[in-house]
């Protein structure tokens, strides 16, 4: 059954009823992150599109408060009219604010603007048993108590449904441009490391198999092609089957060299430790996880069919007992997106 609440009270009532009946729910915003975690069959799908109000916009404070079903495109449109933007957000059509935050799905501008969790000032969440909980504050000075915004960012809907979020905005840059170069993989990696050392906080430096993309933001006189690069557009991702590897940033060049030598399709976000690799079979997932662990990192499937998600998260993370206790306090009946809880046992399809 599809559940489509039009407000927080109706949403809370639906969650209380599902908890009472023991019905498993899948939470769906734009549906862009529905192929994460273990495959599972929900009893109902709860859609957040009805939570679509812009609650408040304070251009002078550079904050906007929206419900979780508002699209990222709508936030960018409203903010853009006042010369502001949300640079941490990805650019996928149809992405919702709640979905982006729940998946911690930041975009490629992380190198300059930081992870998407840093843009979330206040959050209102409906827990699995229908309580409405608020954390953070609409201004940095008013934030007290537990850091609920960071806890919910990346929780994949396993702790609650994001009802409302207050986001920190940034001024739109005077100029921004992507540049690219192609050549031998080792040369591209060396060039990328040079950009990180020479440029003052580039917006993004992305290495692929035999390619380099860089985004530079600033005043027009500073946004010029680095030596050996030409004007380009933002690169596309390696999908549709994708493993995201996280390693210490200093280890990323060595990881990129190994992936190039192995003929993999990938994009390494230099300076951040993030690398996304195309995979097509379960053995590819295992190989990427082994490679990540060799570089003191981890790997998880962020997009894939059921076969690729037989082991989406890898070893149970440190602190799993704490994660389970937190989940139990937010979702006592365990009805919310059980296949996306990394500290759970595999959920049969």
Please choose, from the candidates 81, 172, 75, 159, the residue with its C-alpha nearest in 3D space to the C-alpha of residue 120. Answer: 75
73 exposed, middle or buried (CB, 10 Å; 0-12, 13-18, 19+)? middle
Q: d(Cα 88, Cα 181) in Å, to the nearest integer?
A: 24
- The alpha carbon dihedral of 256, 261, 264, 265 has a sign of positive
**Residue whose tokens read 């906007």:** 64
For residue 136, what are its two tokens? 């953070």
Is pLDDT of 107 > 50?
yes
Residues 133, 66, 148, 204, Cα dihedral to 10°? 170
Segment 144-182, tens digit of pLDDT: 556 899 999 999 999 999 999 999 999 999 999 999 999
Q: d(Cα 347, Cα 349) in Å, to the nearest integer?
A: 6
pLDDT at 15: 98
Supply the pTM of this predicted model.
Answer: 0.93
Provide CATH 3.30.465.10 ranges for the chain.
2-171+325-339
Please choose, from the candidates 193, 210, 332, 211, the residue with its C-alpha nearest in 3D space to the C-alpha of residue 202. Answer: 193
Please choose, from the candidates 275, 269, 270, the residue with its C-alpha nearest in 3D space to the C-alpha of residue 288. Answer: 275
Please choose, from the candidates 280, 244, 275, 260, the residue with its C-alpha nearest in 3D space to the C-alpha of residue 211. Answer: 260
Segment 68-77, tens digit of pLDDT: 999 999 999 9
- Where in 128-279 does DSSP place strands (E)? 132-136, 160-168, 170-171, 175-182, 204-208, 211-218, 230-232, 242-246, 266-269, 274-278
CATH annotation of 2-171+325-339: 3.30.465.10
Segment 246-260, tens digit of pLDDT: 999 999 999 999 999
């Amino acid at each position: 059954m599809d559940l489509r609440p039009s407000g927080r009270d109706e949403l809370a009532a639906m969650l209380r009823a599902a908890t009472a009946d023991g019905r498993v729910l899948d939470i769906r915003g734009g549906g862009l992150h529905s192929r994460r975690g273990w495959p599972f069959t929900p009893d109902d799908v709860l859609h957040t599109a009805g939570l679509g109000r812009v609650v408040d916009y304070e251009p002078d404070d550079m904050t906007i408060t929206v419900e979780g079903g508002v699209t990222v495109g709508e936030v960018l449109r409203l903010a853009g009219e006042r010369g502001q933007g949300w640079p941490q957000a990805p650019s996928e059509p149809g992405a919702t604010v709640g979905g982006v935050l729940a998946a911690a799905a930041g975009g490629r501008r992380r190198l300059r603007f930081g992870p998407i969790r840093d843009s979330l000032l206040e959050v209102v969440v409906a827990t699995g048993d229908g309580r409405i909980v608020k954390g953070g504050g609409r201004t940095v000075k008013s934030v007290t108590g537990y850091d609920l915004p960071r806890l919910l960012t990346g929780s994949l809907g396993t702790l609650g449904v994001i009802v409302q979020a207050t986001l920190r905005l940034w001024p739109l840059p005077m100029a921004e441009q992507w540049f690219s170069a192609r050549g031998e993989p080792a040369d591209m990696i060396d060039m990328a490391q040079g950009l990180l050392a020479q440029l003052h906080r580039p917006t993004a430096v992305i290495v692929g198999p035999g390619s380099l993309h860089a985004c530079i933001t600033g005043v027009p006189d500073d946004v010029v092609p680095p030596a050996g690069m030409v004007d380009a557009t933002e690169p596309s991702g390696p999908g549709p089957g994708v493993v995201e590897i996280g390693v210490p940033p200093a280890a990323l060049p060595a990881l990129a060299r190994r992936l190039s030598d192995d003929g993999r399709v990938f994009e390494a976000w230099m300076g951040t430790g993030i690398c996304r690799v195309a995979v097509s079979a379960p053995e590819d997932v295992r190989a990427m996880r082994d490679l990540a662990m060799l570089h003191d990192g981890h790997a998880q499937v962020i997009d894939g069919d059921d076969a690729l998600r037989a082991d989406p998260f890898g070893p149970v993370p440190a602190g799993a007992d704490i994660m389970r206790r937190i989940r139990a306090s937010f979702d006592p009946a365990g009805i919310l997106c059980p296949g996306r809880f990394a500290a759970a046992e595999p959920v049969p399809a």
